Structure 1
Amino acid sequence: MRHFLIFSLLLTSLIGAAQNPKREFRAVWVATVKNIDWPTKPGLTTRQQKEEYRRLLDFHQMNGMNAVIMQVRPSADAFYADGVESWSRYLTGESGLAPDPYYDPLTFMVDEAHDRGMEFHAWFNPYRAIVDLEEMPEDSTHIFYEKPEWFVQYGDRMYFDPAIPEVQDYTVGLIADVVDRYDIDAVHFDDYFYPYRIAGVEFPDSLSFASYGTDYTQETKDDWRRENVNKIIKSLNDTIKAVKPWVKFGISPFGVWRNIADDPRGSDSEAGQTNYDDLFADVLKWMDEGWIDYILPQLYLHREHPKLSYTKVLKWWNALDYMGHLYVGHAVYRVGSEREDGAWMNPEELPEQIKISRELPNVLGGAYFSSKSFFNNELGITDRLRGDFYRTPALVPTMPWLDSSAPATPTELVIKNDPSGVLLSWNTEDSTTRNYVIYRFDGKRIGDFNDPENILRVVPSSSPFYLDKTARKRKRYTYAITALDRMSNESEPTFVRFIKVKPPK
C-alpha cells in the first residue's frame, strides 16, 4: 500500500508538470524593511551582503522563479547610490551611512538578477516614511527633517501626506531618477497607499484638506483622497513611459477592491477593509485607464475562507476586462504555520491555489511573499515547486502594448562533443538581445518549441555559449537557440544542429 501511495504521488506530480506553461510570471518578493529577507541583518559587510544576495537568487532560480520583486525604498530611504534620500538603516545599520567598502547595491542587484535570466522589479513604498517612532533616522539630512511639514503621524508610524502636491512631485521624481539611472525592468508598488485604518482613529489630513480639498465637502472627502492617489499613479506611469517606454509599472494591492455588499461590481467577499473604501486606492480605475501594466492582488487567505475566499476573489479578478496582465499574490509565509488557520496545515492548499490560477485564462502567473519562507520548505512547498509546478523553465509573458518586436535570430550555431558534455556556441549582432533560450530535443528531430519540457536553459546575452553537462553519452540530441529581448519577445530559432554524444576517450 505504501509503495502504491508513493507511486500515486509521483504520477500526480508528473501529470502536473506536463501541464506547465511555457510563459508564466514567477516572482518572489524580497523585503528589506526590518531586514525581513535581505540583508538578514543591518550592518553586514559589503562582501557578506553580496554573498547573501547571490545565494538568495541562486536558490530562487532553482525554485523556478523568473523575476525578483526587490524592495529598494522601504521607508523614505534608499538601497541605491546618489539618490535624493538617505541610505537605508536596513542596509548599513544607520540611516545615511554608505556601504563600506563602497558599492551601489542596486546596480549589483540588477546585474545579478539579469545574469540569471530574471527580471528585476524595483519595489517602492510611496508614502511610508518612518516604520517605528522609536527608531528615528540618525541622518540629519533625512527628508523627514528637511521637510517636516510633509509628514503626519498615524498610529506609531510617520507617513508622507498624499495630498500635498510637492509630495506627489517628489515621489514621482525620485522614482523617475531610478528608472533613468538603472536597468530595472519594472517599478512596483504594494498595498500601502493611505494606511490601513486604525479603529476609531481618523487619518490626520484636515490641514491639507483645508488647503487642497476646496472642491470637495466633508461628505466627499474620501473621493478627494482617492483622487490624490490617482494623480500620483497617472503621473508616475506617464513619467516612466517618457523616460523608458519599456519599463513596466505594476501594483500589488490588497486582494479586495470592494465588497459586493457595498458595490454591485465588487467581489463576493466580506473584507474588513478594502482598497477603495479604506486605502483610497481605486485600482479598477487604474486598470480601466491603462495606467498600470500589471495588477497583482494579494490573495493571502485560503480557498474556503468564509469572508475572503481565494477561489472566489481570484475568479472575480479574472473576469475583469483588463488589457494588462493579471498575476496573483500567494501567502507562502502562511504555509505550515501553526499560528494560521488550520487550512494552511494542508500541504495541498498552496499547490491547489496554483492549479486554480492556471485554470483561469487571464491569470498569467504569481508572486510569493516572501523570500525567506521558502528556505524552511514548510510542508515541502519548495520541493513541490521544484519537482512539479516549476520543474520546467518559464519565460515571462510578453506585453505587446509596450513592445512586440522580436530580436534577430542568433546565427552560426556550433555544437561539438566535449569531455564534460556538449558545448554550444553561437553569435548575434542584435543589441536588443537580453537572453538566449537553449532548446534540446531527444533524437534527430525538431520538437515542439512551445513545450517547456524542451527548454534546456535560459542564459544571459553576455554568454553566447553553453556547456550541456546533462547530455548522456551515446545519445542523440537536436539543439536550437532563440533570442529574447528585455520584454521577453522571442526570435525565430536558429537552424537546428544534431549531435551524437560520444563517450570520453
Structure 2
Amino acid sequence: MNCFRITLIAFAALLMLGCSASKQSLTRKADSTPKREFRGAWIQTVGQSRYQQMNSAAMKYYLSEMVRKLDEAGINALIFQVRPEADAFYKSSLEPWSRFLTGTQGKAPDDPDFDPLAFIIAECHKRGMELHAWLNPYRVKTNINNPLAPDHIYWKYPERFVQYGNQLYFEPGLPENRSFICDVVHDIVSRYDVDAIHMDDYFYPYPIAGTPFPDDNSFNMYAASQGFSPGQRADWRRNNVNLLIQQIKYTIAGTKPWVRFGISPFGIYRNKRNTPDGSGSDTNGLENYGDLYADIKLWVEKGWVDYNLPQLYWEMGHERADYTTLLRWWNANNFERPLYIGQDLQRSMDRNELDTKIRQSREMPFVHGNCYWYGYLILENSGGVADALKTGAHRAKALIPAYTHLHKGRPDKVKKLTQVFMEDMHFLAWEHQNQPQNPETARQFVVYRFRAGEKADINRAENIVAVTPDNFFVLPYEGGRNEYTYAVTALDAFKNEGKAAKIKVRL
C-alpha cells in the first residue's frame, strides 16, 4: 500500500463540495451497547490550582491515575486543556509555561525533562484512548491583573491585544493574530501525537451588557477592503472567526491530515425568532451566531471541522432551552460529520436525567456519542457518577466512530495470530505492518473474546475486551477448563477497522 498522501489543493476541492443532510429518518431505536460511540470527558486547567501544588513526579502519578479512572468509567477520549491563557501545558518556544501548571507563568516544571502533554498522550494511547488537545484561541488573561511572563507575545506586540471587561484578548480582526494561533496549532500537531485539536465555545467573548467589544481600529482598517459596510460589523466579526477556523483546518491538514479538528460550541446556534426562515431552534437564549459570532453550522457544512460537539447543558423541560428540543435540532441540522453531545454531569445527576439523556442521544441517527462536563466529577466519582457509567451506559467498551470523511478504507488484517505459552503467563501475539508515518496502517488493535459455541460476531461491543497499541494481549488463565475464540482486528489512524483474525484457545 502506498503511503497516505493528501495535498492542500485536493483537500480544498473536497471542502468546496460541501455536505448535505441525509434524508434518513430523524429517530431510531437506541442501542444500549453501541460498538461505535464517542465518550469524551473535558479536563480543564484554567482556574485550577491542583497542578501547581504538585511536583513533576506527583503530577505524573496524578495524570496516570486520571487516565486509568476515566478508562475504567468507559471514557475513550480525553479532552485536556493545554492552552488556557495563551500559555502552555507543554514545552513551547512560542508561548510560556502556564501559571496553572507551576503557579507562575513562564516557570518550568521542576523536572526539565517532564512534558505534561507528551506524558498524558502516552498514558491515553497505552489504554487505547484518544487525547484531544484543547486550546482557547483568543483569551490571554482571565483577570486583567494577572501578570504575564516577560517573553509573552503581548510585550512584543501590545497593539494586537484588547481589553474587554476584566479580561485580555487577541484582537480577532487582525490577520497576524490568526497566523500566530495557527503557528501554535502547527507546533502542537507537528511535535505531538495528538488525535485532535479541540476548541470550545470561547471565540468572541460573551457580551457584557452595555459594553461594546473594542474593535473599532481593526474594523476601520480591514472591513471595507473585505467587502463589509459600516452597518455590517456583526457579519465582519463572523467572517473573522470563519477565516480562523478555515485556516486552522488547512494548517492541520497540511501537517498531519489524520489529526481531527473539533469544536464544542455553545448549545444554541440561533433562536427561531432571530432567523427569517424560522430555521433556528425553538429556544430563547444566547446564540453562537448572533452573540459569539461563531457560525458553527457553516463550519460543519463547509467541512472545516471534523466533529461538532454542542454543549447541551440545560435540563429537560427548561423553559428557554429545553435539552430534548436542542438535541433534536442539532440532529436534524447535521451535515454528515460526526456529531457529539456535551452533557452537564452535575445538573443531569441532580435531576436524575443522565441515563435518559444518553438514551435520547442514542435514538438520534446523526448523533455519534457524548462528552461529559466536568470530567473531574468522574475522577472523584461524585454522586456515584463513575459507578453509574460503568454499570449503565458504558457497561461495554466502545470504539471511536470512524472518520470516513477523511479516509474510508481498512487496514490490513493482522498476521500470524498465535497463542504463546510461558510457565507463568499465556498471551496472544500477532504481526502487522509497522509504518508510523502511514495513517492507513495499524495504529491500534481491538481484541474480542467469545465463549465456546458463541458466534464470533465482532459487531457486538459486549465482546470487546481491549483496545491496545501493542501487538500482544495477556490472557487470563482459568485452569485450562474453558474454551474461547479470540479475534483481533487493526484500527488505522482514522479508526477504520480491518478484518478479524481468529484463534481458539483453552484457558
Q: TM-score, normalised to structure 2's length?
A: 0.89
Residue in structure 1 matched with residue 504 of structure 2 by the alignment: 498
Residue 175 (structure 1) shift: 0.8
Report the CA distance between 1:375 and its aligned residue: 3.2
Deviations for 1:477-501, whole angstroms, at most 9, x for unmatched residues?
111111111211111011x222232
Q: Output aligned runs, 1:447-462, within 5 Å.
A: 447-460=456-469
Match of 1:352 in 2: 356
**In 1, distance between residues paired with 2:265 and 2:31?**
32
Counterpart residue number, 1:73:
83
String of CA shifts for 1:13-67, please: whole Å, max 9, x gaps.
xxx997210000011111111227xxx2315211111111000000000011111
Equivalent in the alignment of 2:282? 268
Alignment of 1:184-195 (within 5 A): 184-195=194-205
Task: Tell which has more relative contact order, 1 or 2 (C-alpha 8 A, sep 6+).
Answer: 2
Q: CA RMSD in A?
A: 1.9
Change (3 A) 1:392 1:161: same
CA distance in 2, matches of 1:321, 1:107: 34
CA contact (8 A) 1:17 1:389 kept: no
Give how far 1:444 is off.
4.6
Corresponding position of 2:391: 387
2: CA distance, partners of 1:90 / 1:193: 21
| 1:127 aligned to which of 127, 138, 159 | 138
1:254-306: CA deviations, max 9, x gaps?
A: 000100011111011111x1100010001111111111111000000111111
Aligned residues: 469
Pick closer, same or farther for the CA change 1:230–1:73 going to 2, 3 Å. Answer: same
For 1:467, the equivalent position in structure 2 comes to: 474
Moved more, 128-137 or 25-34: 128-137
Deviation sequence 1:210-256 (CA, Å, 0-9, x none): 11222433421100110110111111111211111111111000000
Whole-angstrom distance in 1 between the partners of 2:355 and 2:479: 32
1:222 to 234, 241, 250: 234
Q: Secondary structure at the match of 1:57?
A: helix
**Counterpart in 2 of 1:4?**
none
Partner of 1:32: 45
Q: CA deviation at 1:82?
A: 3.0
Written as runs of structure 1 = structure 2, the 5 A alignment for 1:380-419 is 380-415=384-419
For 1:225, the aligned partner's letter is: R
Alpha-carbon separation, structure 2, partners of 1:150 and 1:470: 63
1:409-436, Cα deviation, whole Å (9 max, x unpaired): 1122222566777522222234332111
Q: Percent identical across equivalent pairs?
A: 41
CA contact (8 A) 1:416 1:499 kept: no
Report which stretch shifted further, 243-252 or 445-454. 445-454
Residue pair 1:421, 1:471 contacting (<8 A) in 2 also: no
Identify the match of residue 320 of structure 1 among 333, 337, 345: 333
Inter-CA distance 250–437: structure 2 relative to 1 (3 Å threshold) = same
- 2:489 alignment counterpart: 482
Query: What is the Cα deviation at residue 376 of structure 1?
Result: 3.7
Match of 1:248, as an amino acid?
A: R
Amino acid at match of 2:145: E
CA 392–422 in structure 1, closer or farther in 2 if over 3 Å, else same: farther
1:446 shift after superposition: 3.9
User: Structure 1 residue 209 and structure 2 residue 219: aligned?
Assistant: yes
User: Over residues 373-418 of structure 1, what are the superposed CA-to-partner deviations in whole Å (9 max), with x where a residue is unaligned?
Assistant: 1234344322111011111111100111212232211122222566
Which runs of 5 or more residues in structure 1 are unaligned?
1-15, 337-344
Tell me if structure 2 keeps the 8 A contact 1:17–1:392.
no
5+ residue gaps, structure 2: 1-28, 436-440
TM-score using structure 1 length: 0.89
Which is further off, 211-220 or 107-116?
A: 211-220
* Structure 2 Cα separation of the partners of residues 459 and 282 of structure 1: 37
Residue 254 (structure 1) aligned to one of 266, 288, 294: 266
Query: Out of 437, 450, 454, which is 1:441 matched to?
Result: 450
Asked if the contact 1:260–1:269 (Cα under 8 Å) also holds between the matched residues in 2, the reply is: yes
